[in-house]
Amino acid sequence: MAGIALAATPALAATSSSDGSAGMGLILILFMIACYFFPAIIAVCRGHHNTLAIFLLNLFLGWSGLGWIGALVWAATAVRRPIDPDYVRVRRDDF
């Protein structure tokens, strides 16, 4: 009978603890997710024109390390800005 009682008691049963370890665990998990998506966060903050592609590279290949570094470098590259049409306009009679 003792074997049945032990089998019915889960080994990882939730216990009431007031030390805040669950809250710290949640904060740690959120911090790790933010670190993993750091290249995508940088791309969004910089307004990069390839933000979606950087996010997808980070999502699918970031685990390899090389994909994460590639996404970080890509997020740090120059951002294309729209060209002011008044500045670029060249008229035929200007020549």
Condensed to tens digits (0 to 9), the pLDDT of residues 1-11 reads 555 555 555 55
Rg, the chain, Cα only: 26
pLDDT of residue 53: 97
72 domain residue, yes or no? yes
59 domain residue, yes or no? yes
pLDDT of residue 6: 52
Q: Cα(54)–Cα(50) distance, rounded to whole angstroms?
A: 6
Q: Whole-prediction pTM value?
A: 0.66
pLDDT in tens, 45-90: 999 999 999 999 999 999 999 999 999 999 999 988 777 666 655 5
pLDDT of residue 67: 97
pLDDT of residue 79: 87
pLDDT at 18 over 90: no
85 domain residue, yes or no? no
Q: Which residue range(s) make up the domain with 72?
A: 37-80
Q: Cα(15)–Cα(12) distance, rounded to whole angstroms?
A: 9
